[in-house]
Amino acid sequence: MASTAMRFSATSTGAEAFPRRNSLAGFLTVSARSSAKSRLRFIGRSANLSFIRRRSSFSVKCVSGSEARKTLHDPVSQQQEATTSLSSLTPDASSIASSIKYHAEFTPLFSPHNFDLPQAFSATAQSVRDALIINWNATYDYYERLNVKQAYYLSMEFLQGRALLNAIGNLELTGAYAEALSKLGYTLENVAYQEPDAALGNGGLGRLASCFLDSLATLNYPAWGYGLRYKYGLFKQRITKEGQEEVAEDWLEMGSPWEIVRNDVSYPIKFYGKVVSGSDGKKHWIGGEDIKAVAHDVPIPGYKTKTTINLRLWSTKAASEDFDLHAFNAGRHTEASEALANAEKICYILYPGDESIEGKILRLKQQYTLCSASLQDIIACFERRSGANVNWEEFPEKVAVQMNDTHPTLCIPELMRILIDVKGLSWKDAWNITQRSVAYTNHTVLPEALEKWSLDLMQKLLPRHIEIIEMIDEELIRTILAEYGTADSDLLENKLKEMRILENVELPEEFADVLVKSKETTDIPSEELQSSEQVEEEEKKDDEENKDDDNDEVEGTIAKKKGTDESSIEDEKEELPVPIPEPPKVRMANLCVVGGHAVNGVAEIHSEIVKDEVFNAFYKLWPEKFQNKTNGVTPRRWIKFCNPLLSKIITEWIGTEDWVLNTEKLADLRKFVENEDLQLQWREAKRSNKVKVAAFIREKTGYFVSPDAMFDIQVKRIHEYKRQLLNILGIVYRYKKMKETSPVERKENFVPRVCIFGGKAFATYVQAKRIVKFITDVGETVNHDPEIGDLLKVIFVPDYNVSVAEMLIPASELSQHISTAGMEASGTSNMKFAMNGCILIGTLDGANVEIREEVGADNFFLFGAEAHEIAGLRKERAEGKFVADPRFEEVKEFVRSGVFGSYNYDELIGSLEGNEGFGRADYFLVGKDFPSYIECQEKVDEAYRDQKVKMDKNVNIEHSRLIQV
């Protein structure tokens, strides 16, 4: 691993990002660039499991420093330096069945009297976990011996999905476990279905983090993930007549068989209190509220390797002495357990609502808990591996901390605090170490997602950290002054305003006079100066003379606006708003850029926007910090395990399963593109997956859908910029046109479609929840319309998660990635759909750009404005120059007619109207892109209809795009 950065890219850490154009066939462009030769072979030193019969030995030649890095990354050196002597025995079905029965009896989470499906899952998972623990211990024994540089990935979300099938697939034990469970009277599929998704994430941010861990393990990189162990997750989504309803997640209700509680690994976390200077000259943070963070480990196995890395999740609790026994016995039960409740609620839910001050405090507590506990753990590991002689200068050579978005920003001041206050380093040394150790991944260009925290709130909760942040801000001011000087006051003022970490905060006293404009007038001739003064005096006099006229005009405007007479004018004038100063804030994204050595965007276009717009001033100052790392996804979970039918076909025709680790081998499919047998197998696999989804939809929603219709899917977090509203309005337009044609014409002109939505709207995001309600109302009307029948169905799948995605994506034929251009950082679901033989319709946004380059423009349904046009289009709208397409106006009126029920959609439709104002003016350009969108959808229909007619000549639409370049 590079000593200066933890670089997640296809060529360095197995992030499996998109390669350059023409490097692959037109699909599966997400690649794990490793081979069997480059994998470390870790095995357990001994095992007392019932299905491991022989002892295995593990030996390495210990190396350190640069030798260790060479050993880890050079396959030849690896083979020479890391050797294994083993006598391995692949466990058979009988021994696995014995292991499962053992866990059912001796480590049960359920009553031993029954062995129903939930019990079978729990015992099976514990059986798998035994093997993972052996590999986990061997992996980290190896890393400890080599004292390697280790990556630490900090994220508020890890959207893992179910673990059982992924784990046994990576261990290459799927067949053996299926046979073992068959001996016990169950199918592997039914047992795996019992596992709840781990409720540790919400969207792409969390799924990306989990894909990274899978890739890091598969490519044998020393790495850990750090997150929080949310008891209730985000929420479980129910769809009712009122739309989305949120209830608490119950994923831990029956316990998790995967996690290993490390009661001996806990760290103190402090809030509030005050900072004092000690006699030793150090700052001491004392008093306040103290809690403990306790580690829960989840093993993450690599594919076809013994490497098993770790996801460490923190739970929070208070010390037992904080329980007030006296108060409890006196009947004051709530008071007695208040400290315990305050500690535990930190890890109750992901992203607690922050409308209230209590919600804001809780969110900040979550972020600090993640950062503080993780850094204390990282430093403890560094010190342990260093032995008696700890050299802090080596810290950046052994530690890489990657902050997944701005949530872990407090890593920067927390690392500084520990190094200075606890370890006794100087500010200069601590700052140098911190900047070299920490890096930042930006995931958004949306202003609301670039976190800002109240300075006052942070000062109360984390007083020492504010002192450190203020000092970092001063360091930045010095850098800006050194770069731009003081000659141009306006330029300097703009740079400080844009770049400072502390927003709306006066300059420190040291810099108080740097923005004072020069009053020297020696360069101005006296007559010009006098003339200027005379002009100013005359203008002032004119202003006074015209004051009454101006007031009349203002007052007349007010009266006209309010419909009042002149007698109320004075009262109205008093009611005019007085500007309120903006409160001081801490800009977390700016702190990330300043405090780290690397900043990366997550798609090519996003990274350019980051440099050109979001952090342009920082880019001009430190261009070397800014990088692109296009996101990636793991082909293990997202093809091999979730789509076994397609995987089997690929392996059969290529002649090897090596494509799972080396996806460039998929180019071998090109030679068979015209083969009718391949085409037939491909179509049959797709239809089988669609039949499965049709049954799932029936189970979850009660609606019947035809597997012979096109499956058109948009599944992702519900947000205005992702434009589910554009999708559903396009469906409304389609439905209206269907109703206006005769039955014969309807059948001839419209391709049957099943339009599937899924995703959660944040609980307090009103407009997003209106969109969910609108989708379900349209579905209620369309799905019960006998004239339409199977020609159109609209489905909203409740409680969308990873497991649902694993079912829907293999069945998809058209996938929608239609965000407003320039607003989607990457979007990794587009990759998953492409990998499974699905055509995309989308804008030039996020990773869509690179997918389109890879598969070719002819194989991507493109529509809509481009990123460089967006600002101009919004300006045009604000100036009242936008003219809506008649078809767009037609759709809005159709919605307002009440055809989809009695719910009042004025606010939703109103957001698409007007030229300015909050919640209006169509900020996300739905109206602008609507005509382009529906015309593009017509092309989709034509292509789908064409492949139906010419099936003997072409692979059907998604598959022709899939394997032809």
Identity of the residue numbered 835: M
Residue 949: pLDDT band (50, 70, 90) is low
β-pairing, 289-301 with 792-797? unpaired
Among 71, 139, 444, 828, the one annotated catalytic: 828
Q: Are 309 and 213 in contact (CB under 8 A)?
A: yes
pLDDT single digits (tens) 802-858: 999 999 999 999 999 999 999 999 988 999 999 998 999 999 999 999 999 988 898
Residue 576: pLDDT band (50, 70, 90) is low
Among 722, 753, 817, 892, the one annotated catalytic: 722
Identity of the residue numbered 492: L
Q: Are 891 and 733 in contact (CB under 8 A)?
A: yes
Among 640, 716, 746, 760, the one annotated catalytic: 716
Lowest-confidence pick of 368-372, 521-525, 672-676: 521-525
Q: pLDDT value at position 89? A: 59
pLDDT single digits (tens) 109-157: 777 777 899 999 999 999 999 999 999 999 999 999 999 999 999 999 9
Lowest-confidence pick of 202-206, 831-835, 949-953: 949-953
Distance CA 371, CA 403 (A): 10
Task: Give φ, ψ of 32 to 5 degrees.
Answer: -95, 110
From 717, 794, 796, 762, select the one nearest 240 (Cα to Cα). 796
Q: pLDDT value at position 372? A: 98
Answer yes or no: is pLDDT of 555 > 90: no
Is 832 a catalytic site residue? yes
Distance CA 303, CA 237 (A): 33
Among 769, 832, 874, 961, the one annotated catalytic: 832
Answer yes or no: is pLDDT of 222 > 80: yes
Is 541 a catalytic site residue? no
From 709, 713, 712, select the one nearest 747 (Cα to Cα). 709
Is 875 a catalytic site residue? no
Q: pLDDT value at position 870? A: 95
Identity of the residue numbered 345: K
Summarize the confidence of residues 448-474 as an average pLDDT.
Answer: 95
Task: List domains and CATH numbers for the chain.
Answer: 91-351 (3.40.50.2000), 644-866+928-945 (3.40.50.2000)
Answer yes or no: is pLDDT of 940 > 70: yes
Q: pLDDT value at position 571? A: 46
Among 69, 717, 723, 746, the one annotated catalytic: 717
Residue 9: pLDDT band (50, 70, 90) is very low
Phi-psi region of 921 (alpha: psi -120 to 50; beta: other; left: phi over 0): left
Summarize the confidence of residues 688-697 as an average pLDDT.
Answer: 97
Q: What angle do CA 258, 254, 299 make, to 5 degrees?
A: 5
pLDDT single digits (tens) 902-932: 999 999 999 999 999 888 999 999 999 999 9
Lowest-confidence pick of 180-184, 479-483, 561-565: 561-565
Burial class (CB in 10 A: 0-12, 13-18, 19+), 274: exposed
Summarize the confidence of residues 196-223 as an average pLDDT.
Answer: 94
Summarize the confidence of residues 539-560 as an average pLDDT.
Answer: 39
Higher local confidence (pLDDT), 302 or 66: 302
β-pairing, 59-60 with 82-83? antiparallel
Answer yes or no: is pLDDT of 404 > 70: yes
Residue 471: pLDDT band (50, 70, 90) is very high
Q: pLDDT value at position 948? A: 62
Answer yes or no: is pLDDT of 228 > 70: yes
Answer yes or no: is pLDDT of 896 > 80: yes
Q: What angle do CA 800, 805, 811 make, to 5 degrees?
A: 125
β-pairing, 236-240 with 243-247? antiparallel
Instruction: Give the C-alpha distances (Å, rounded to integers) separating 186 from 98, 119, 128, 173, 959.
Output: 14, 11, 17, 16, 35
Summarize the confidence of residues 606-634 as an average pLDDT.
Answer: 94
Q: pLDDT value at position 815? A: 97
Q: Which two tokens stand for residue 488?
A: 């141009």
Is 770 a catalytic site residue? no
Summarize the confidence of residues 460-465 as an average pLDDT.
Answer: 98
Answer yes or no: is pLDDT of 436 > 50: yes
Q: pLDDT value at position 919? A: 87
Answer yes or no: is pLDDT of 556 > 60: no
Q: pLDDT value at position 579? A: 73
Answer yes or no: is pLDDT of 453 > 90: yes
Summarize the confidence of residues 402-410 as an average pLDDT.
Answer: 97
Q: pLDDT value at position 693? A: 98
pLDDT single digits (tens) 662-675: 888 988 988 998 89
Answer yes or no: is pLDDT of 313 > 90: yes
Sheet holding 289-301, edge to edge: 260-271, 289-301, 308-317, 223-228, 150-154, 399-404, 438-441, 598-601, 626-628
Distance CA 814, CA 816 (A): 7
Q: Are 764 and 353 in contact (CB under 8 A)?
A: yes
Residue 87: pLDDT band (50, 70, 90) is very low
Lowest-confidence pick of 200-204, 365-369, 728-732: 200-204
Q: Are 148 and 397 in contact (CB under 8 A)?
A: no
pLDDT over 70 for what percent of the chain? 82
Q: pLDDT value at position 575? A: 58
Q: pLDDT value at position 566? A: 39
Residue 544: pLDDT band (50, 70, 90) is very low
Q: pLDDT value at position 858? A: 87
Answer yes or no: is pLDDT of 589 > 70: yes
Is 443 a catalytic site residue? yes
Answer yes or no: is pLDDT of 563 > 90: no
pLDDT single digits (tens) 261-296: 999 999 999 999 999 998 888 899 999 999 999 999
Among 69, 162, 312, 443, the one annotated catalytic: 443
Q: Are 225 and 200 in contact (CB under 8 A)?
A: no
Largest CA distance in the chain: 105
Could you tell me where the DSSP H helices lie in 221-356? 325-329, 333-336, 338-344
Lowest-confidence pick of 21-25, 281-285, 337-341: 21-25
Answer yes or no: is pLDDT of 255 > 50: yes
pLDDT single digits (tens) 779-806: 999 999 999 999 999 999 999 999 999 9
Radius of gyration over alpha carbons of the chain, in Å? 31
Q: Which two tokens stand for residue 26?
A: 């037109």
Phi-psi region of 383 (alpha: psi -120 to 50; beta: other; left: phi over 0): alpha
Q: Which two tokens stand for residue 717?
A: 């977090």
What mean pLDDT value characterizes the chain?
84
Q: How far is CA 806 from the centre of its chain?
A: 17
pTM, full prediction: 0.85
Is 722 a catalytic site residue? yes
Q: pLDDT value at position 864? A: 97
Question: Tokens 């691993």, residue?
Answer: 1
Distance CA 417, CA 316 (A): 21
DSSP 781-840: HHHT-TTTGGGEEEEEESS--HHHHHHHHHH-SEEEE-PPTT--S--SHHHHHHHTT-EE
Residue 508 is given by DSSP the state P
Answer yes or no: is pLDDT of 337 > 90: yes
Higher local confidence (pLDDT), 403 or 41: 403
